[in-house]
Amino acid sequence: MKEQEKAEIKRLSDKLDALNRKEPLLLESGESEKLGALLKEKETLVIEIERLKNVREQKLSKEAQQLQQLPFSRAITKKEQADMGALKKSVRGLVVVHPMTALGREMGLTAMTGFAKKPF
């Protein structure tokens, strides 16, 4: 399901890109009817892409939603990563998410991130 949404967003983005490349040519030729149709189509594509992105965000798994609702999150430093046991002992309820795990990719993380109820 997620891959289909991603593919659909990519397809629409590619179509929008193609229309953006056509626009200057139509402006030079002065074909206002075709330009109007192109602009209208661009508008509908932008709206549809935004809608699909919003749907995708809402479909984050329950676990991802719970983590994002925690009041505090930040990237874990290399030093903290080296001694993860001590970090987890010092911060109660710390959940660490790696960007290469399914959950990390789903959340769009770029660095190892910790989520907790209190600042750490």
Q: List, for residues 63-85, the tens digit of each pLDDT value.
A: 888 888 899 999 999 999 999 99
Total domains in the fold of the chain? 2
Q: Are residues 5 and 64 in the same domain?
A: yes
This prediction has a pTM of: 0.50
Q: Which tokens hold the place of 91?
A: 């911060």
Beta bridge partners of 113: 75, 97
d(CA 33, CA 41): 12
Q: Find the domain containing 31 and state its range.
A: 1-68
Q: Are residues 75 and 62 in the same domain?
A: no
* Chain segment 8-21, per-residue pLDDT in tens: 889 999 999 998 88
Residue 42 sits in a domain of what CATH number? Answer: 4.10.860
